Structure 1
Amino acid sequence: MRHVPQGILSGLRVIDCSTYIAGPAAAVILSDFGADVIKIERPPHGDPYRYLVTVPGMPVSDQNYCWILDGRNKRSVALNLADPDAREALLKLVRGADIFITNYQPQLQRKFRLEHSDLAAINSRLIYASVTGYGENGEDAEKPGYDATAYWARSGLMHTMHNGDAEPVQSPAGFGDHPTSMSVFAGIMLALYRRQLTGEGSRVTTSLMANGAWSNSCAIQAALCDAAFLPKWTRKAAINPLVNHYVTRDGQRIFFCLLDPPRDWPNLCRALGFLELVDDPRFSTPAARRGNSAALIERMDDAFAQCDLSHWSSVLKEHDLIWGPVPPPSDVAHDPQFEQNYVFAEIEPGLKTVQNPIRVEGLEKAAPRMAPGMGQHTRDVLLELGYSEEQIAQMIERGAAQ
């Protein structure tokens, strides 16, 4: 097999003219495979994602961990797009670019003349990728949205993902943005392949709402088929005790997903020492377990509370049962299974970052580089575009650049 050197996308230039997470994360994936990504930020503050870690409720750290994750590998150029000279600098970048990513709302795209038609007119080979909250049609097309509102709430996921005795929960930061970034990346790669065939650029679009619908598509497809949805249940009276979570003696949660009852039920009984329950008519069939779920869950709760997770991990593996631990992120960050599968990469000595989840045999990812300061590369990039030191100084002095 012929080996492809590190950076299969090297030689491609990406203009990341997006904010927060979905668009910037797609640009990160492109950079991981070698693309040169130039991040356009609007002075004086830049991408508001830089400040997400200061929002109340976010984990407290002296590191800007969100920016490290989705700002890595990029060069930051700060341009005031309302200034004609700054806009001209951006257009010079676009003329030599392969990909332009934006999540600007339609009114901002019009204001700064950054719609697809504007940029395709000066670069017919450009791949223009646009991420919206709620799609490009309908009354909400220009409505602002985050992944929490468009992906998590609007798609029905927020309603779906809670027990009957709980209020709907807020999604974690980036919960919908990062899956959406994979759609953006996939669309860009399809558009690049199309360009290879036709020589033409194209427009790639996706929305947080559509990606939320795809994530919640089993439930939505059920609704499309007029399925009858069951009332929500509580953990202690779950409709299927074999798809439920339990707590071990050392306070660790484990989650079961046992979907092959003829095989799994006897194995679970053996693992828990419930041999007398294998043929017990109260529990021996799925229907019986549903009818007596509270009693069975109580028995299982008592059993799991007798031993630590390490014991149950060994026993459940021995009986070939499908389950998983429910660790906090602080444990995930040190889980050897993640380490051994290259989920993390060192970005600088003593600091790791989360890799994108794509691995292709024969391709290497670029070593991650620390996320830039705001406007850190403005001067360097403008020099590459042919601006003189004097011109750059003038642009910075009057606020066109930073």
Structure 2
Amino acid sequence: MNPLSETFATFAKAAGPLKGVTILDLTRVVAGPYCAMLLADMGATVIKIENPSDPDLTREFPPLSRTSAEPLSGFFAQFNRNKMAICLDLKKPEGKATFLEMVRKADIVIENFRPGTMDKLGLGYSVLREVNPAIIFTAISGFGQHGPNSSRPAFDSSAQASGGLWSMNGTVEEPMRVGTVLGDLSAALYAAIGTLGALREAERSGQGQMVDVSQQDAIVSLTENALVTYTETGKVTVPEGNGHPFVRPYGRYACKDGFVFFGAYTDKFWREACRVFGDDAMASDPEVSTMAQRFDAEVYQRKVKPAVERWLSAYTKAELEAMTGDRFPLSPIKSIDEVVADPHLRERDMVIPVDYQGARFDVFGNPVKLSGGTLERDAYAPGVGEHNASVYREWLGLSAAQYDELVRLGVV
């Protein structure tokens, strides 16, 4: 048993800039749980609320622990660390009433149901703000809380498809989705930012608000210059493969044992690259002396690309990384095993252990590094309903008889 699960007071004594902030986390899968986890890493007391008969389905997602007899999920542990966990059936009258009592004492509610679900439960924002005017209601969904598509079901790929990113990634012959759930992850990041902004306002004025984050909106905001290029010029962005639409050399190139990203396209970086690789002829060639000349498609194919390919093919990824240092942008294209072994990432706590009911998983850390520290190191992910008694009895203040009745009714 995690020592922090013994009492609510012990758990809530965590440090961090969000110490004292209580979040009711109704979310499932990735976008919502990741948002709440980021805030938990900064010290918020996050109470994950799951239906007792239908908990977060990612508790069964791979990878499962190699050392535990129970099917414990590393996926779940990664996105739900530093949280308390309780059970509550919001469809039952007693569950709704209990949740509203929790809202009275909480600062933030985060949910990622399809729009309208909380209203159907009788627990929409209009109801919650009557109970607690300062409550922040963060809603993450595929298409947002309003608009003609708001009620449509969505997954990450729905956002990548409808937000334009899918059409821009891959090659012209075969557009591809980005190989991670970028719609979920980016929505989580924007939701965390919006929640913190709303929290600042609630602390100042005593008035909460709804934070409405759409996965599709999040993806649109990641399309860089595609939108403004179209609205200004009528040009539709198409996949560039590993190249770049307006700078060269900039992309993937082969080396002895794999591939690297080479990005020495500015005049300064180009001169440095010529020095590093001892190519005096290219350094003095007037045909490739400016960035504009090197971008010219014919000059690039005839002179620049062959030179870069010749330079890089003579070395391994590690040799190239050591040679170039901080002189110009060059990065090995690393597989995930190489990423996990990266001493730089290790030093920055981007590979950290999380305990989950006796299993231990190495997961990614928090990319937000505060000088005062965050709480992801040696974190813990909770079991289903692990903190029922401490939350309901100690924090909410239910009597033993009241709590036992909720248990008898199957509400918790």
TM-score band, normalised by shorter chain: 0.7 to 0.9
1:189 CA drift (Å): 1.5
Cα distance in structure 2, aligned partners of 1:363 and 1:88? 37
1:97 CA drift (Å): 0.4
Q: Where in structure 1 are there 5+ consecutive unaligned residues?
A: 54-58
Equivalent residue, structure 2, for 1:56: none
Change (3 A) 1:60 1:50: closer
Tell me, yes or no, if structure 1 residue 307 matches structure 2 residue 319: no
Change (3 A) 1:85 1:346: same
Change (3 A) 1:239 1:381: closer
Tell me, yes or no, if structure 1 residue 257 matches structure 2 residue 263: yes
Cα distance in structure 2, aligned partners of 1:202 and 1:138? 19
Partner secondary structure for residue 233 of structure 2: coil
Give the residue type in structure 2 aligned to 1:387: L
Normalised by the length of structure 2, the TM-score is 0.84
**Aligned partner (choices 329, 349, 357) of residue 367 of structure 2:** 357
C-alpha contact 1:7 1:366 (8 A) present in aligned 2: no
CA RMSD of aligned residues (A): 2.8
Mean Cα deviation higher: 212-221 or 338-347: 338-347
- Match runs of 1:56-135 below 5 Å: 62=66, 64-135=73-144
- Match runs of 1:276-315 below 5 Å: 276-280=281-285, 283-285=288-290, 286-287=292-293, 289-295=296-302, 296-315=304-323
Change (3 A) 1:366 1:314: closer
Change (3 A) 1:259 1:36: same
Question: Per-residue CA shift, 1:355-389, capped at 9, x if unaligned?
Answer: 22222334553655321112222233222334344
Equivalent residue, structure 2, for 1:373: 383
**Aligned partner (choices 44, 49, 61) of residue 35 of structure 1:** 44
Mean Cα deviation higher: 303-312 or 201-210: 303-312
1:394 CA drift (Å): 4.3
Change (3 A) 1:206 1:238: closer
1:231 CA drift (Å): 6.0
Mean Cα deviation higher: 230-239 or 272-281: 230-239
C-alpha contact 2:393 2:399 (8 A) present in aligned 1: yes
- Match runs of 1:3-402 below 5 Å: 6-53=15-62, 62=66, 64-150=73-159, 152-165=160-173, 167-226=174-233, 228-229=235-236, 232-233=239-240, 241-251=248-258, 253-260=259-266, 262-280=267-285, 283-285=288-290, 286-287=292-293, 289-295=296-302, 296-317=304-325, 320-348=327-355, 351-365=361-375, 367-384=377-394, 385-401=396-412
Cα distance in structure 2, aligned partners of 1:266 and 1:164? 32
1:202 CA drift (Å): 1.7
C-alpha contact 2:23 2:109 (8 A) present in aligned 1: yes
Change (3 A) 1:235 1:67: closer
Cα distance in structure 2, aligned partners of 1:147 and 1:323? 31
Partner secondary structure for residue 365 of structure 1: coil
Normalised by the length of structure 1, the TM-score is 0.86
Give the residue type in structure 2 aligned to 1:377: H
* Identical counterparts, % of pairs: 25
Partner secondary structure for residue 308 of structure 2: helix
1:126 CA drift (Å): 0.8
**Count of residues in Structure 1 that have an aligned counterpart in Structure 2:** 387
C-alpha contact 2:354 2:363 (8 A) present in aligned 1: yes
Partner secondary structure for residue 217 of structure 1: coil
